[in-house]
C-alpha cells in the first residue's frame, strides 16, 4: 500500500528582489534542499524546525499549492504535481488560520460555502458540516454562529480545522495548527489530531514547538535549512543525547554580543549551542549541550565570556537532556 504522504528529494528555490545601491538585484533562497520523508496511515508525523526551515514550503507543495523545482510529492499514491485534483480529493489542509475565509460569513456559512466548492453532494453537506463542527468544538465556543471577522484566533483555528475535515479526508496536513492559541485551545486541537490518527488517518503536522512535537507526534523529522537532519520517534531522538547534559543560561544584553558568545562556544568549546529570545522578558536563552563532566567548565567559561563582553548572566542551570537538546545537537552545528 502507498504511504499516506511521500516526499522525495524536493528542491525549491525562491527568487527574491533585493534593493541594491544603484539597481535591483535578485537573490536566490534555497527553501528546500532535497527534502525526503514518509508519513504512514495511522501516524502523526511532525516536521519540526526553526523559522525559515522550509516547513510551509513543503506543506504547500504537498497540498498542490506550489510546484517544486525538482523532486516528487505523493498523497495517497497520487502525485501532487501531476494529479493535483486526485490529491485534493483525499487531502485536508489547514494552512495559516487567517487566510481564505469570508469575513462577513459565520462559521457554518463558511463551511457551507467550502463544502459546496469541494463538490460535497447537497444531501450530505449538512451532516458533514455538523460532524466537522462537532469534532472541532465549533458549537461549544459559539464559532458556528459568529461572523469570521468577530472570531478569536482560537475560534478561527477550530474553523480552519473543521474546513480541513469537511471531506472526511484520509490524509491531513496541518501547518502550525496551534500557533498563537491559548493552552486549552491548543490541547483540544492536539487531542483531536491524536484521535484522528487513531482512526487511521495519516497526519503531517509542522511545528517549531518541541513540547508539542514530543506530545503529539509518533515520529518526528527535524528540518533545518530545507533538509531532514534527524528522524525517529521522540524516544529514539532523545536516545541520541542520552548521557549528555545541557547548560541553560539566561543572558541580558545586546543580541549581537550574545551571538558572539554562542559562536565562540561552538568554536572554542566545541559544543552545540542554540539561542532563543524570550519576548516577555527581553532575555536571551543560550542552551549548550555537553558531556556531564564538562558542565562546570562550560559554565565558568560562559560567565567569564559574558563578563568580558558586558553581558549579564541572569540565571544559570544544568538540565537533563530533552528533545530540545536533540534539536540543539543536530541544528546547533548547522
Ligand atoms: N513566497 C516566497 N518568496 C520568497 N521567499 C520565500 C517565500 N516563501 C518562503 N520564502 C523563504 O523560504 C524559506 C523557507 O520558508 P518557509 O516559510 O517554508 O519556512 P517555515 O519553516 O515555514 O518557517 P516559519 O516557521 O517561519 O513558518 C525562508 O527563507 C523564507 O524566507
Ligand atoms: Mg511556516
pLDDT tens per residue across all 334 residues of the chain: 899 999 999 999 999 888 777 777 888 999 999 999 999 999 999 999 888 999 999 999 999 999 999 999 999 999 999 999 999 999 999 997 667 899 999 999 999 999 999 999 999 999 999 999 999 999 988 888 999 999 999 899 999 999 999 999 999 999 999 998 888 889 999 999 999 999 999 999 999 888 899 999 999 999 999 999 999 999 898 888 888 888 999 999 999 999 999 999 999 998 888 888 888 889 999 999 888 899 999 999 999 999 999 999 999 999 887 888 888 778 765 5
- Pairwise CA distance, residues 183 & 49, whole Å: 21
What residues line ligand 1, using a CB cutoff of 6 Å?
14, 16, 29, 31, 49, 51-57, 208
On whether both 280 and 224 belong to a single domain, the answer is no
Asked if residue 332 lies in contact with residue 274, where contact means CB atoms within 8 angstroms, the answer is yes
Q: Whose CA is nearest to atom 4 of ligand 1?
A: 14
Domain endpoint, select from 218, 238, 258: 238
Cell 563582553 identifies what position?
309
213 and 64 part of one domain? yes
CATH at residue 315: 3.30.70.260
Q: What is the value of pTM for the model shown?
A: 0.85
- Whether residue 109 is found in the same domain as residue 13: yes
Residue to substitute in 14, 179, 204, 208 for testing ligand 1 pocket (most ligand atoms within 8 angstroms of CB): 14
Among residues 238, 269, 303, which one ends one of the domains? 238
Domain that includes residue 310, residue range: 241-331
Q: Which residues surround ligand 2, an ion (CB under 5 A)?
A: 55-56
Question: Residues 215, 264: one domain?
Answer: no
Closest Cα to atom 25, ligand 1: which residue? 51
Q: Are residues 32 and 159 in the same domain?
A: yes
Return the ligand 1 atom nearest residue 12 CA.
12
Q: Pocket of ligand 1, candidates 26, 30, 55, 208: which has the most ligand atoms within 8 Å of its Cβ, to mutate? A: 55
Are 164 and 307 members of one domain? Answer: no
Last residue of a domain, which of 187, 216, 238?
Answer: 238
Which ligand is closest to the CA of 15, given by its number?
A: 1
Best residue for ligand 1 mutational test, from 7, 56, 213 (most atoms within 8 Å of Cβ):
56
Domain count, the chain: 2
Any idea what DSSP says for residue 279? T
Asked if 49 and 94 touch (Cβ cutoff 8 Å), the reply is no
Cell numbers 565562540 correspond to what residue?
A: 264
The verdict on 222 and 92 lying in the same domain is: yes
Amino acid at each position: 500500500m502507498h504511504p499516506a504522504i511521500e516526499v522525495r528529494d524536493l528542491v525549491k528555490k525562491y527568487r527574491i528582489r533585493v534593493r541594491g545601491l544603484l539597481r535591483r538585484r535578485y537573490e536566490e533562497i534555497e527553501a528546500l534542499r532535497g527534502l525526503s520523508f514518509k508519513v504512514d496511515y495511522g501516524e502523526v508525523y511532525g516536521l519540526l524546525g526553526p523559522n525559515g526551515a522550509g516547513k510551509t514550503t513543503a506543506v504547500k507543495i504537498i497540498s498542490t499549492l506550489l510546484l517544486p523545482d525538482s523532486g516528487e510529492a505523493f498523497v495517497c499514491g497520487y502525485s501532487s504535481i501531476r494529479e493535483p485534483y486526485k490529491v485534493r480529493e483525499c487531502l485536508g489542509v489547514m494552512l495559516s488560520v487567517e487566510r481564505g475565509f469570508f469575513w462577513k460569513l459565520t462559521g457554518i456559512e463558511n463551511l457551507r460555502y467550502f463544502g459546496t466548492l469541494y463538490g460535497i453532494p447537497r444531501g450530505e453537506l449538512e451532516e458533514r458540516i455538523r460532524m466537522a463542527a462537532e469534532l472541532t468544538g465549533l458549537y461549544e465556543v459559539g464559532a458556528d454562529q459568529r461572523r469570521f471577522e468577530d472570531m478569536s484566533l482560537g475560534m478561527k483555528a477550530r474553523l480552519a480545522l473543521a474546513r480541513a475535515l469537511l471531506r472526511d479526508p484520509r490524509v491531513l496536513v496541518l501547518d502550525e495548527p496551534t500557533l498563537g492559541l491559548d493552552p486549552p485551545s491548543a490541547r483540544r486541537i492536539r487531542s483531536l489530531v491524536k484521535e484522528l490518527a487513531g482512526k487511521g488517518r495519516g497526519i503531517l503536522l509542522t511545528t517549531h514547538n518541541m513540547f508539542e512535537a514530543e506530545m503529539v507526534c509518533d515520529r518526528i523529522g527535524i528540518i533545518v535549512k530545507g533538509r531532514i537532519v534527524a528522524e525517529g520517534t521522540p524516544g529514539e531522538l532523545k536516545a541520541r543525547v542520552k548521557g549528555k547534559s545541557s547548560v541553560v543560561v539566561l543572558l541580558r544584553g545586546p543580541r549581537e554580543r550574545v551571538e558572539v558568545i554562542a559562536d565562540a562556544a561552538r568554536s572554542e568549546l566545541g559544543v552545540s549551542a542554540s539561542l532563543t529570545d524570550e519576548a516577555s522578558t527581553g532575555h536571551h536563552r543560550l542552551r549548550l549541550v555537553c558531556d556531564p563532566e564538562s558542565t562546570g567548565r562550560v559554565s565558568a567559561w560562559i560567565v567569564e565570556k559574558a563578563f568580558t563582553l558586558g553581558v549579564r548572566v541572569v540565571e544559570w542551570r544544568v538540565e537533563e537532556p530533552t528533545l530540545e537538546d536533540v534539536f540543539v545537537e543536530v541544528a546547533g552545528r548547522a
